[in-house]
């Protein structure tokens, strides 16, 4: 009998391994005929067999019919429920168990972690510890996975300590789980140490470590780790290849092939190399890996390659369609995104929440916010991600009023905001200068779990700064326990926005002293301070730091450098920076043209504008303001008119009030006042006060009293508190000896309680920056001399 039992057990194991449902049922029938159904050992195997074949009801019937059950029986049925993800029944069964061993606890903890109930998994683990059970490597692997998902690094550290205490810290499963936990908790230093402590790291170790490095924006290090993985001949599977493709989709510039590590290749080239590896290892049919390839090409903007992958995939999923829709959305091609949505539905795939979010992004990126709103309104129950996407669309398009209105509707529908929602609405409230609304959002964040959230704190700093409440912004900044670069940047930008450039420099210095590496935005902000303070010496020092830290080819920083040099009068240095930049965009070209305009180099500005057109860069409204300003300041009237006329005809840019102002100024400087008046009368925006103020200034130069009177009267009506028209008109009368008329204008100015602001001048010298102004009694007053930031000088303004 014992031999027969062993033989049947062996057959059942084969059925379990191969999921041979019919053969297993025949063995069960044979057991019933042979009166072996009461054998606990065989019945336990049968429960496992039915569970493996997803026949949970059959497992339970067999369990209920068993006359004798042991701990293995209970563990088998518990495992069956856990495998079927019927966790409520598993909990009930677990509570009914007459005895439990470590397998029982591990089974339930593992199932809870796998199914997203990480907090419950930790609760079961704590209970297991209280009952005196010592965790195994399986226990710790599951618990550490739960800690990573919950970003509970403190619990993870305690588990780390336990693993050392019981001698499991060198176990490969525990080691991989530890580095995965630290990586998910963004403790990258601990993750690197955990990786180093793994005696023989495998593909799981390398994959987890690469993911952690990429998530912390250490893309080059992730590439180097993959190169090390290949060098050490670690087995490369589809998961590790998907992970490194995720790194490629984030960008980076470290070569991981066999070339020199100093070669700088694009992420797309890296991705193509990994693509070759997927073919070499025979993974062309792996759906998950193909989706990763699609995602990599789409995020790098290479939609032609993404299309090629997509059409050749043996099978596609909803994820595949979503990636293609997202890719075209990021390239602002909403029509292609809509085409893929229609094709997706035609082929029988049901769009999910991510599909609609991607479509919303596509509409918003394409500037079609109304189409996005229609899609949003068509959703029966929009998710929080959808709300955030449409709110972000309105905020980015500066339709702050609609964003606030939609946020209120979100509250009426009882949709609870998250940190992203609150940050978006803070941006809109700041844009509308709605301080009271910002305070209310601040109060909500204090009541919710976002009290210490640095992402939201940065938004609050920006909101209070834009509303002029710098002291409140400082208080929030000072309360943040662990400051990141975004918070520092927000505080510096807020100070600069409120003309506190001296303090902005102080913050920049403190940031460096704290070991924080400045970002592109940090440098752009501090360069803006140099420009506003006309401090060329400070700007040059910042330029040196930028060069040392490798930001010279960044278009954002380069544009700020050009602006700083131009405003400080060193236009040759600005042009040198421009010529040295590898990656120029429209903003870069605009800054250099504007720099020439500021420094009276009209011919150079026009030549650069022509070079811009010749390079294929598309000019925008700001480009034309810059080049038309240059023409105006340099007397290139006819050239300016020719460029103005080409705006809409050749480049599709609608002239706005700023462009008309430049032409009016140009005509006025040349004494062609009649042409300027005729143009104003034809303009769609002739009731803008700037237009008339520019014309009035020209009338003063050419003593055209009649036109000056008309311009001044328009300004009295359009901008009653502006002192400029009173002063200019009075000066015109004075210059012509018409003293009674001049006196009448000044009396009118006094009657209307209009006050002229005093003049304010700057002088930079070796000890700092000194400012001079004239008080109401005509006396010269000097402001304080300020020295900041390692000898860099600036004024308090």
Cα 52 to the chain's mean position, in Å?
44
pLDDT band at 648 (very low <50, low <70, confident <90, very high): confident
Question: What does the block give as tokens for 793?
Answer: 């000088």
pLDDT over 70, % of the chain:
90
Tell me which residue of 666, 670, 745 sits closest to 705, measured CA to CA. Answer: 745
pLDDT of residue 786: 36
User: How many other C-beta atoms can be found within 10 angstroms of the C-beta atom of residue 434?
Assistant: 19
Q: How far, in Å, CA of 78 to CA of 384, rounded?
A: 36
Residue whose structure tokens are 């929602």: 421
Question: What does the block give as tokens for 306?
Answer: 């993404």
Nearest 5 degrees, angle CA 583-CA 588-CA 590? 150
Question: What does the block give as tokens for 328?
Answer: 């075209």
CB 289 within 8 A of CB 241: yes
CA distances, 13 to each of 24, 45, 253, 276, 650 (Å): 9, 7, 51, 40, 78
pLDDT over 90, % of the chain:
33
Nearest 5 degrees, angle CA 163-CA 165-CA 170? 45
Q: Is the pLDDT of residue 37 over 70?
A: no
Question: What does the block give as tokens for 450?
Answer: 């976002």
pLDDT of residue 271: 81
Q: How far, in Å, CA of 485 to CA of 150, rounded?
A: 24
pLDDT of residue 264: 33
Nearest 5 degrees, angle CA 337-CA 343-CA 345? 105
Average of per-residue pLDDT across 342-360: 89
Average model confidence (pLDDT) for the chain?
84
CB 172 within 8 A of CB 209: no
pLDDT band at 252 (very low <50, low <70, confident <90, very high): very low
Question: What does the block give as tokens for 595?
Answer: 């720099």
CB 785 within 8 A of CB 766: no
Residue pLDDT, tens place only, 373-395: 888 888 888 888 889 989 988 89
Average of per-residue pLDDT across 704-711: 81
CB 69 within 8 A of CB 40: yes
Residue pLDDT, tens place only, 689-702: 888 888 888 888 87
Q: Is the pLDDT of residue 145 over 50?
A: yes
* Residue 95: burial class (beta carbons within 10 Å; 0-12, 13-18, 19+): exposed
Residue pLDDT, tens place only, 753-792: 666 666 555 555 555 555 555 444 444 444 443 333 343 3
Helix (H) or strand (E) holding 504: helix 501-513
Rg of the chain (C-alpha set): 35
Task: Give the sheet arrangement for strand 780-782, strand by strand.
Answer: 760-765, 768-774, 780-782
The structure's pTM equals 0.61
CA distances, 330 to each of 134, 253, 290, 294, 766 (Å): 51, 22, 20, 14, 50
Average of per-residue pLDDT across 476-497: 88
Sequence length of the chain is 797
Tell me which residue of 498, 467, 462 sits closest to 477, measured CA to CA. Answer: 462
Average of per-residue pLDDT across 167-182: 91
Q: Is the pLDDT of residue 268 over 70?
A: no
Q: How far, in Å, CA of 592 to CA of 567, rounded?
A: 11
Q: Is the pLDDT of residue 612 over 50?
A: yes
pLDDT of residue 263: 32
| HEC assignment per residue over 410-435 | HHHCCCCCCHHHHHHHHHHHHHCCCH
Residue whose structure tokens are 């400087």: 669
DSSP 8-state class, residue 634: T
CB 388 within 8 A of CB 416: no
Residue whose structure tokens are 């012509």: 736
pLDDT of residue 553: 80
Strand partners, 383: none
Question: What does the block give as tokens for 644?
Answer: 């103005």
Q: Is 732 left (phi over 0), alpha (psi -120 to 50) or beta?
A: alpha
Residue pLDDT, tens place only, 284-314: 888 999 999 999 999 888 899 999 999 999 9
Tell me which residue of 725, 714, 718 sits closest to 754, measured CA to CA. Answer: 725
pLDDT of residue 703: 78
The winner for highest mean pLDDT among 30-34, 281-285, 550-554 is 281-285
- CB-facing half-sphere around the CA of 117: CA atoms within 13 A: 17
Q: Is 589 left (phi over 0), alpha (psi -120 to 50) or beta?
A: alpha
DSSP per residue, 577-591:
HHHH-SS--HHHHHH
Handedness of CA 392, 394, 398, 404 (dihedral sign): negative
Cα 457 to the chain's mean position, in Å?
16
Question: What does the block give as tokens for 240?
Answer: 């590790």
CB 663 within 8 A of CB 686: no
pLDDT band at 2 (very low <50, low <70, confident <90, very high): low
Q: How far, in Å, CA of 327 to CA of 359, rounded?
A: 10
pLDDT of residue 105: 93
pLDDT of residue 266: 53
pLDDT band at 265 (very low <50, low <70, confident <90, very high): very low
pLDDT of residue 791: 37
pLDDT of residue 356: 85
Question: What does the block give as tokens for 404?
Answer: 């606030």
Q: Which fold has domain 660-756?
A: 1.25.40
DSSP-based three-state secondary structure for 258: coil
Q: Where are the domains of the chain?
A: 660-756
Tell me which residue of 779, 778, 774, 781 sits closest to 759, measured CA to CA. Answer: 774
Query: Rounded to the nearest 10 degrees, what angle do helices 400-412 and 419-431 cross at?
Result: 140
CB 405 within 8 A of CB 413: no
Q: How far, in Å, CA of 356 to CA of 341, rounded?
A: 9
Residue pLDDT, tens place only, 625-639: 999 999 998 999 999
């Amino acid at each position: 009998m014992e031999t027969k039992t062993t033989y049947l057990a062996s057959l059942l194991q084969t059925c379990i391994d191969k999921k041979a449902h019919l053969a297993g049922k025949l063995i069960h029938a044979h057991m019933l005929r042979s009166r072996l159904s009461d054998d606990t050992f065989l019945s336990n195997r049968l429960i496992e067999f039915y569970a493996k074949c997803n026949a949970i009801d059959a497992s339970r019937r067999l369990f209920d019919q068993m006359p004798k059950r042991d701990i293995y029986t209970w563990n088998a049925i518990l495992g069956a429920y856990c495998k079927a993800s019927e966790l409520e029944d598993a909990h009930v069964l677990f509570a009914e168990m007459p005895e439990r061993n470590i397998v029982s606890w591990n089974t339930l903890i593992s199932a809870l972690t796998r199914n997203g109930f990480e907090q419950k998994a930790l609760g079961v683990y704590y209970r297991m510890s209280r009952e005196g059970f010592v965790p195994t490597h399986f226990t710790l692997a599951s618990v550490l996975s739960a800690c990573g998902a919950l970003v509970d690094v403190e619990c993870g550290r305690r588990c780390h300590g336990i693993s050392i205490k019981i001698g499991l810290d060198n176990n490969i499963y525990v080691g991989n789980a530890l580095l995965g936990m630290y990586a998910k908790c963004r403790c990258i230093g601990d993750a690197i140490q955990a990786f180093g402590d793994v005696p023989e790291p495998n593909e799981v170790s390398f994959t987890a470590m690469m993911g952690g490095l990429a998530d912390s924006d250490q893309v080059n290090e992730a590439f180097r780790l993959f190169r090390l993985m290949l060098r050490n001949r670690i087995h490369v599977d589809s998961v590790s290849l998907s992970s490194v493709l995720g790194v490629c989709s984030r960008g980076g510039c470290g070569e991981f092939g066999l070339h020199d590590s100093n070669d700088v290749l694009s992420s797309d080239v890296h991705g193509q190399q990994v693509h070759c590896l997927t073919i070499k290892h025979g993974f062309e049919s792996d759906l998950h890996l193909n989706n990763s390839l699609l995602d990599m090409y789409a995020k790098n903007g290479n939609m032609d390659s993404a299309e090629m992958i997509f059409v050749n995939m043996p099978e596609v999923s909803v994820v595949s369609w979503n990636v293609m829709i997202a890719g075209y959305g990021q390239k602002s091609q909403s029509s292609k995104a809509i085409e893929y949505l229609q094709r997706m539905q035609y082929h029988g795939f049901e769009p999910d929440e991510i599909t609609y979010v991607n479509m919303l992004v596509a509409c918003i990126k394409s500037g079609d916010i109304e189409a996005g709103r229609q899609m949003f309104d068509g959703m029966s129950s929009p998710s929080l991600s959808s709300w955030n996407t449409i709110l972000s669309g309105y905020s980015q398009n500066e339709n702050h009023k609609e964003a606030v209105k939609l946020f209120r509707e979100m509250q009426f529908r009882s949709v609870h905001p998250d940190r992203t929602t609150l940050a978006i609405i803070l941006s809109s409230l700041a844009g509308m200068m709605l301080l009271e609304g910002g305070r209310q959002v601040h109060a909500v964040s204090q009541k919710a779990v976002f009290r210490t959230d640095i992402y939201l704190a940065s938004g609050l700093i920006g909101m209070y700064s834009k509303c002029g409440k710098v002291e409140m912004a400082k208080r929030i900044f000072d309360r943040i326990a662990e400051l990141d670069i975004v918070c520092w940047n927000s505080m510096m930008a807020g100070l600069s926005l409120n003309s506190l450039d001296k303090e902005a420099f102080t913050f920049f210095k403190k940031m460096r002293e704290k070991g924080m590496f400045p970002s592109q935005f940090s440098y752009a902000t501090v360069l803006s301070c140099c420009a506003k303070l006309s401090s060329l010496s400070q700007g040059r020092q910042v330029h040196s730091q930028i060069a040392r830290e490798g930001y010279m080819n960044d278009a954002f920083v380069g544009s700020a450098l050009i602006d700083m040099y131009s405003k400080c009068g060193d236009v040759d240095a600005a042009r040198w920076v421009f010529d040295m930049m590898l990656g120029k965009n429209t903003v870069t070209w605009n800054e250099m043209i504007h720099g020439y305009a500021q420094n009276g180099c009209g011919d150079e500005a026009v030549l650069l504008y022509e070079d811009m057109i010749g390079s294929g860069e598309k000019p925008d409204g700001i480009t034309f303001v810059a080049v038309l300003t240059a023409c105006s300041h340099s007397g290139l009237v006819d050239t300016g008119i020719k460029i103005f006329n080409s705006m809409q005809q050749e480049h599709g840019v609608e002239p706005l009030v700023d462009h008309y102002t430049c032409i009016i100024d140009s005509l006025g400087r040349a004494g062609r006042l009649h042409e300027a008046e005729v143009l104003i009368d034809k303009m769609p925006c002739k009731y803008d006060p700037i237009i008339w103020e520019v014309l009035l200034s020209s009338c003063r130069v050419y003593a055209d009293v009649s036109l000056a009177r008309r311009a001044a009267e328009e300004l009295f009506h359009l901008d009653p508190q502006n002192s400029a028209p009173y002063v200019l008109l009075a000066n015109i009368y004075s210059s012509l000896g018409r003293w009674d008329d001049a006196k009448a204008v000044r009396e009118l100015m006094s009657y209307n309680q209009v006050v002229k602001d005093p003049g304010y001048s700057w002088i930079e010298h070796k000890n700092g920056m000194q400012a001079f102004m004239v008080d109401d009694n005509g006396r010269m007053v000097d402001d304080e001399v300020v020295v900041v930031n390692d000898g860099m000088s600036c004024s308090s303004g």
